Chain A
Amino acid sequence: MAVTNIVLAGLGGQGVVTASDLLSTAAFSTGLQVKKSEVHGMSQRGGSVTSDVRFGEQVFSPMVPDGEADFLLVFEPSQVEINRHWLRPGGMLITPDDIPEGSLRNRKSLNVALLGALSVQLDFDEATWMQAIRTRLPEKIHAINEQAFAIGRGAGERLGRKTQTEGV
């Protein structure tokens, strides 16, 4: 099984790192090898943030090589163009445009909704994702995030599962 490469990108405060924590926790709990890394120097102060998540049977570098991302999740429209270079040819871009943001009970859970949209493309079952949300997030926001995940997953299903391409 080849390595799956995912880059999450946005601005400080949008929950990029939380989303990559959830994603890596979900992948890890299925028994895969997972590596994730990010640079969170000044992220708190609204600057650009990216986080890399890689999983498969064996993963070496914790950084997704440029031009090799299978999926790119961008949390903020202004960050799409500057991050597009991460995607491999045929890789998939997921942005807030793919999410009916109006249905979210709390806009802050957009990060988890984007994961919901991504989840359609990955082979982890829904229970794995719910477990990740419950272990990684504080209890009082479980319900809101579970709802956000479901909305994102519904939207992702409407996008359709990409035909299996190499490396996914």
Chain B
Amino acid sequence: MATNQRLLLSGNEAVALAALHAGTHLGTGYPGTPSTEILEALDQLGGRAQWAPNEKVALEVALGVSLARGRSLVTMKHVGVNVAADPLFTAAYMDLVGGLVLISADDPGMASSQNEQDNRHYARAAGVPMLEPADAQEAYDFTRTAFELSERWGIPVILRMTTRICHARTQVRPGPTRPGALQPGFQRDIPGRVMIPAHARPAHRKLRDKLAQIARWNDAEGPNRVYDGDRRLGIIASGVSVMHAREAAPEARVLSLGLTWPLPMETLRRFVGEVDRCVVIEEGDHLVYEALRADGLAVEGKPEMYRFGELNVPRVRRILAGDTSPEAAPPAGKPPELCKGCSHREVFEVLGRLKYIVAGDIGCYTLGVLPPFEAMDTCVDMGAAIGVGLGLRHTLPPEEARRVVSVIGDSTFVHSGLTGIAEMVYNPPPTGHVVLIVDNDTTAMTGRQEHPGTGRALNHAPTQKMDLAQVCRAMGVKNVQVVDPQKPEDDFEGVLRDLMGRDELSVLIARRPCVLAAPMIRRYEQAAREGATGSAQAPTP
């Protein structure tokens, strides 16, 4: 790809291209809207990309890459950072070698998520720098900057995107490919990498020192810019809010923050002092506003009602006008539903009819909560079906406890269901329990990605397949059965009722490929067979 070529890219594609140009050795992550396309694009561009079973493992793998003097990109949606938070907080103490960039793709407005947490909090909490691009060009540029900062200070760097950056296409002019890729190699550094208390205590001080240096760098040459304008109104913004603000108030002077943690306080103080009125326009929580007020700066924030949902140009106009009158609710669109022929349909038809108490989980099958099924009672986070189901079983009177079933998808099961099974066999409820794995051979919800249970890698080439039934047996589950919910002879309903009546521990796997994935899976399998006989390569669709 020639430098300065003019491309129309999504923010996700721009990150992948930048990672490639920055000499990334490995991209890893777990699918999640709106981040999923980054690793797929990296693979398409010829980079090395792989799905991890979950975000925590992905970040740990990336950390290993960095310590081997390689560059790594880790991608996940906002809630994925919760899963990866444990390694993140301690990785911040370590002296990294190769650049490590973590993409947090937030979903304000919850187009496809269970909450709208604002992951800017993670930069402050973990003490790691955060960059926030305002369009695809900045997504490209800031990914490159993130690798440079990460290597210069030996620290993980978070690039925080949101849906309107990830999935918006805007112009990108890529820069030059980085010459002289790092040469991987191992060098022992026990105090910098083995976080026992004796090493972690000085490491924490060192981290704070690194952050102070980065703050100074941010003031001196950070990726922040001022768009000149009338000094009567100043706006401080970051991410896509910069764009909304420049459109809503073309006359205003705008400070666009690129590196939003640690904040460039000198720059901010100067900017606030230059304008008569200064308003902070930020999507989500009031983080920048609170930081500036704590510093004694006379800035205005947004009324509480604008904490919820995405910002857009009309909402920014309202914030600037101090308008807190109720907003017109947008007309309700048509809700999504399970595809025709989807085998989750049979499963939820039965669960609804039998009036079970369903501890549910996250995936396409969460649509089982909507009419006509209305057959789900809880949905929290990936893997919660099993723990929540066990808690219900432990506590309800036996007659009600016997109606509790945990329902979880195959990708979700691999992501975080295994520890739930460990809990179940270790602390079995008196009435036993039944875990129903709805196994459609793909991660359907996010657009049909592979996972360890499919036996195919990110590029769909064959790899070792994790056998979910064998794993459950090996972990000590007494009854493990596999049925096709669409085959009458398999009698899904009969088998489920039998297991629910037993007061024992059971895993029932309802297995049938997702109808949208099935034709692709047949192609991959065909290619794998041909590949095995040496006549063809695995496809990269």
Chain A interface (Cβ < 8 Å from any Cβ of B)? 11-12, 21, 24-25, 28, 33-48, 60-63, 65-67, 78-79, 81-83, 85
**Beta-carbon nearest neighbor of A60 in chain B:** B247
Q: Chain A contacts of B33 at CB under 8 A?
A: 40-41
Those of B127-170 within 8 Å (CB) of chain A:
135, 163-164, 167-170
- Decide if B332 is an interface residue (CB 8 Å cutoff): yes
0 or 1 for each of B242-268: is its CB under 8 Å from A? (1 = yes): 011011000000000000000000000
By the criterion CB–CB under 8 Å, are A44 and B516 in contact? yes
By the criterion CB–CB under 8 Å, are A79 and B334 in contact? yes
Q: Chain B contacts of A65 at CB under 8 A?
A: 247, 312-314
**Beta-carbon nearest neighbor of B342 in chain A:** A45
By the criterion CB–CB under 8 Å, are A66 and B314 in contact? yes
By the criterion CB–CB under 8 Å, are B111 and A48 in contact? no
Those of B69-113 within 8 Å (CB) of chain A:
109, 111-113
By the criterion CB–CB under 8 Å, are A34 and B314 in contact? no
Chain B interface (Cβ < 8 Å from any Cβ of A)? 8, 33, 109, 111-113, 135, 163-164, 167-171, 240, 243-244, 246-247, 312-314, 330-339, 364, 367, 447, 516
By the criterion CB–CB under 8 Å, are B337 and A63 in contact? no
Known: A11-B334, A35-B168. A62 touches B240 (CB 8 A): yes
Q: For the complex formed, measure the closest distance between the CB of B386 and the CB atoms of chain A, giving whole angstroms.
A: 24
11 cross-chain CB contacts under 8 A: A28-B8, A34-B170, A35-B135, A35-B169, A37-B168, A40-B111, A42-B112, A46-B336, A62-B243, A65-B313, A82-B332
Q: Chain A contacts of B330 at CB under 8 A?
A: 85
By the criterion CB–CB under 8 Å, are A81 and B167 in contact? no
By the criterion CB–CB under 8 Å, are A45 and B169 in contact? no
Q: For the complex formed, measure the closest distance between the CB of A12 and the CB atoms of chain B, giving whole angstroms.
A: 7
Q: Chain B contacts of A34 at CB under 8 A?
A: 8, 169-171
Please pick, from A21, A38, A61, A67, the residue contacting B243 in the complex, using a CB distance under 8 A.
A61
By the criterion CB–CB under 8 Å, are A47 and B168 in contact? no
Q: Chain A contacts of B314 at CB under 8 A?
A: 65-67
For the complex, give the distance between the alpha carbons of A36 and B112 in Å: 19
By the criterion CB–CB under 8 Å, are A46 and B169 in contact? no
For the complex, give the distance between the alpha carbons of A161 and B168 in Å: 29
Q: Chain A contacts of B336 at CB under 8 A?
A: 12, 42-47
Q: For the complex formed, measure the closest distance between the CB of B329 and the CB atoms of chain A, giving whole angstroms.
A: 11
Q: Chain B contacts of A40 at CB under 8 A?
A: 33, 111, 167
Q: For the complex formed, measure the closest distance between the CB of B113 and the CB atoms of chain A, giving whole angstroms.
A: 8
Given A41-B111, A62-B168, 14 other A-B contacts at CB below 8 A?
A: A25-B8, A28-B171, A35-B170, A39-B109, A39-B111, A41-B113, A60-B313, A61-B243, A62-B164, A62-B240, A63-B244, A65-B313, A79-B334, A85-B331
Q: Chain A contacts of B339 at CB under 8 A?
A: 44-46
**Beta-carbon nearest neighbor of A13 in chain B:** B339
For the complex, give the distance between the alpha carbons of A48 and B8 in Å: 25
By the criterion CB–CB under 8 Å, are A46 and B170 in contact? no
By the criterion CB–CB under 8 Å, are A45 and B337 in contact? yes
For the complex, give the distance between the alpha carbons of A37 and B109 in Å: 15
Q: Chain B contacts of A38 at CB under 8 A?
A: 167
Known: A45-B338, A47-B335, A66-B314. A61 touches B240 (CB 8 A): yes
Q: Chain A contacts of B334 at CB under 8 A?
A: 11, 46-48, 78-79
Q: Chain A contacts of B367 at CB under 8 A?
A: 42, 45
**Beta-carbon nearest neighbor of B107 in chain A:** A41
Q: Chain A contacts of B113 at CB under 8 A?
A: 41
For the complex, give the distance between the alpha carbons of A54 and B258 in Å: 24
By the criterion CB–CB under 8 Å, are B135 and A62 in contact? yes
Q: For the complex formed, measure the closest distance between the CB of A58 and the CB atoms of chain B, giving whole angstroms.
A: 9
By the criterion CB–CB under 8 Å, are B364 and A63 in contact? no
For the complex, give the distance between the alpha carbons of A45 and B447 in Å: 11
For the complex, give the distance between the alpha carbons of A65 and B244 in Å: 10
Q: Which of B168, B246, B336, B516 has the most CB of A within 10 A?
A: B336
Top 3 nearest A-B pairs by Cβ distance? A41-B112, A48-B333, A47-B336
By the criterion CB–CB under 8 Å, are A63 and B171 in contact? no
**Beta-carbon nearest neighbor of B444 in chain A:** A44
Q: Chain A contacts of B331 at CB under 8 A?
A: 81-83, 85
**Beta-carbon nearest neighbor of A48 in chain B:** B333
For the complex, give the distance between the alpha carbons of A61 and B162 in Å: 13
Q: Chain B contacts of A78 at CB under 8 A?
A: 334
Q: For the complex formed, measure the closest distance between the CB of B417 and the CB atoms of chain A, giving whole angstroms.
A: 22
Please pick, from B171, B240, B312, B447, the residue contacting A44 in the complex, using a CB distance under 8 A.
B447
Q: Chain B contacts of A11 at CB under 8 A?
A: 334
By the criterion CB–CB under 8 Å, are B163 and A39 in contact? yes
Q: Chain B contacts of A35 at CB under 8 A?
A: 135, 168-170
Please pick, from B163, B167, B312, the residue contacting A61 in the complex, using a CB distance under 8 A.
B312
Q: Chain B contacts of A47 at CB under 8 A?
A: 333-337
For the complex, give the distance between the alpha carbons of A46 and B447 in Å: 14
Q: For the complex formed, measure the closest distance between the CB of A55 and the CB atoms of chain B, giving whole angstroms.
A: 11
By the criterion CB–CB under 8 Å, are A61 and B8 in contact? no
By the criterion CB–CB under 8 Å, are B170 and A62 in contact? yes
Q: Chain B contacts of A45 at CB under 8 A?
A: 336-339, 364, 367
Q: For the complex formed, measure the closest distance between the CB of A10 and the CB atoms of chain B, giving whole angstroms.
A: 10
Q: For the complex formed, measure the closest distance between the CB of A48 and the CB atoms of chain B, giving whole angstroms.
A: 3
Q: Chain A contacts of B109 at CB under 8 A?
A: 39
Q: Chain A contacts of B244 at CB under 8 A?
A: 60-61, 63
**Beta-carbon nearest neighbor of A27 in chain B:** B8
**Beta-carbon nearest neighbor of B113 in chain A:** A41
Q: Chain A contacts of B338 at CB under 8 A?
A: 45
For the complex, give the distance between the alpha carbons of A67 and B335 in Å: 23
**Beta-carbon nearest neighbor of B163 in chain A:** A39
For the complex, give the distance between the alpha carbons of A43 and B339 in Å: 11
Known: A28-B8, A44-B516. A36 touches B163 (CB 8 A): no
